[in-house]
Amino acid sequence: MPRIDRYILTQFLTLFGFFALVLVSVYWINRAVSLFEQLISDGQTALVVLEFTALTLPLVISVVLPIAAFAASAYGTNRLSSESELVAMQSAGMSPWRLARPVLVFGVMVGLMVALLVHSIVPLARARLTDRQAEIAQNVTAQFLRAGSFQYPARGVTLYISEIAPDGRMIYFFLEDARNPREQATYTAAEALLVRTEAGPRLVMMQGMVQSLRRTGEKQNLSVTRFSELTYDLGTLIDPSAARKRDLRAYSTARLLDPDAALLAETGASADKARAEAHERLAKPFQAPVAAMLGFAMLLLGGFSRFGVWRQVLWAVGALIVVQFLATAAENQVAADASRWPLIYVSPLVGAAICVAVLWLAARPRRLRGGASGGAPA
């Protein structure tokens, strides 16, 4: 690689590292705050919060890198122009197409980073995150077994615990199950224990009673049963419709391109939905070189101005907004109908076309103002 290309590439990579660090920090902190509030309210420890925020980091990085590439190329090109280095390169005979070569290499490098993330690291992180979410979802104590307040784990179910002893015993336990209006049951116990089994969590109540109220027409029958020990299946308190399916993003791209019956059963998604997720991953790395080229090419338009290149910067931002708008619109269309997954590639193709058109305009010889002179005076 020629020295001038290495110089431009080094400048852009340095700026890219700075912008990527700043943007990832902002996005990650914002995500971590919401996760912190949710997990702490569920009774999780700080280590669990740290683990969850770390698992969301690869996804945040994959989203931020194309934006950081655009910011680095736009800022770097502006600095080269303000320090007259870009003018010197053009005066030496380097066309916009030639100047764009190191920028394209820079964009491809960032695109490879994004590809590594979306095809390898993000699926692994999502798989681990899904498993940890399933473990926490099964932790009934963290969900609704809290002392001193009424809990509503499901619609029509009320639960109250007076106190939780250090050894895990729940003192003065109350549970009302009114999901069936015709059969209402109220459980009270002096003590209760949570026991985990292969079939799910079980609640063992001791020294209590069950009050069953049955309604038949206008008649109501109340029966009271006292017990020394009673086992209750806590899995019945969980709404079956709230059961989480495995996330498509936890699977590899190869499996999503050719989904099998097991994958579709675990995720509850269709084959078109799985293929759409795979093609979204395949298209995402192209956003980085497109964003980098937009930030560079737009700033080559127009001549020198004492007021800087703020107008070209606005054009670059506007072009990036158009490309991102097309990407969002395509995602919405694919979400409505997964068979429309080819629309995912419209955004990078339009962005590439804009870059080629802008470089062609920048490479055209500029006409002299006032037209060509008729000849030199004698």
pLDDT, tens digit (0-9, with 9 covering 90-100), for 33-64: 777 766 665 556 667 777 887 888 888 899 89
Whole-angstrom Cα distance, residue 203 to residue 206?
10
Location of structure tokens 């990527």: 20
Please check the confidence at residue 376 and state whether its pLDDT lies above 50.
Answer: no
Give me the mean pLDDT over the 313-322 stretch: 88
More confident residue, 291 or 313: 291
| CB proximity list for 253: less than 8 A, separation 6 or greater | 119, 123, 278, 281, 282
Give the amino acid at 337: D
| DSSP label at residue 5 | H
pLDDT band, very low/low/confident/very high, at 110 (cuts 50, 70, 90): very high
Residue 289: DSSP 8-state: H
Closest CA to 327 of 69, 67, 100, 97: 67
Q: Taking 90 as the threshold, does the pLDDT of residue 106 lie above it?
A: yes
Amino acid at residue number 150: F
Per cent of the chain over pLDDT 90 is 21
> pLDDT digit string (tens) for 261-278?
888 887 878 888 888 888
pLDDT band at 16 (very low <50, low <70, confident <90, very high): very high
- The alpha carbon dihedral of 64, 67, 73, 79 has a sign of negative
Q: Which residue in this structure is represented by tokens 């989203």?
A: 63
Show the beta-strand stretches assigned E in 142-197.
150-151, 157-164, 170-180, 183-197
Strand order in the sheet with 150-151: 150-151, 157-164, 170-180, 183-197, 200-216, 219-233
Helices 346-363 and 96-116: angle between axes, nearest 10 degrees: 160
Average model confidence (pLDDT) for the chain? Answer: 81
What secondary structure letter does DSSP report for 283? H
Cβ(122)–Cβ(59) under 8 Å? yes
Distance (Å, rounded) from C-alpha 144 to C-alpha 239? Answer: 14
Among the listed residues 145, 214, 207, 203, the one whose alpha carbon sits nearest the alpha carbon of residue 178: 214
User: Which residue has 């675990």 as its token pair?
Assistant: 266
Q: pLDDT category, 334, cuts 50, 70, 90?
A: confident
pLDDT of residue 232: 81
**CA 293 to CA 105: how far, in whole Å?**
10
Q: Provide the pLDDT for residue 274.
A: 86
Q: Give, for 135, the enclosing helix (H) or strand (E).
A: helix 122-138
**What single letter denotes the amino acid at residue 54?**
A
For residue 362, pLDDT beyond 50: yes
CB 264 within 8 A of CB 274: yes
SS3 assignment, position 28 = helix
Q: Look at 332 and 246; give whichever has higher pLDDT.
A: 332
The residues spanned by each domain of the chain are: 3-138+245-363, 154-237
**Given a cut of 80, is residue 134 above it in pLDDT?**
no
How far, in Å, CA of 104 to CA of 296, rounded? 10
Residues 66-77 have a mean pLDDT of 91
Q: Which residues contact 186 (CB under 8 A, 6 or more apart)?
A: 174, 175, 176, 177, 210, 211, 213
Residue 47 sits at φ, ψ, to 5 deg, of -65, -40
Identity of the highest mean pLDDT range in 2-6, 157-161, 238-242, 319-323: 319-323
Length of the chain: 378
pLDDT tens profile 192-247:
887 776 666 678 889 999 998 888 877 888 888 898 988 887 666 654 444 456 77
Q: What is the spatial distance between Cα 91 and Cα 30, in angstroms, rounded to a whole number?
A: 46
0.95 exceeded by the pTM? no
Identify the DSSP state of 342: G
Q: Give the number of C-alpha atoms closer than 13 A to the C-alpha of residue 102, restricted to the C-beta side.
A: 19
Q: Residue 93 and residue 303: Cα distance in Å, rounded?
A: 16
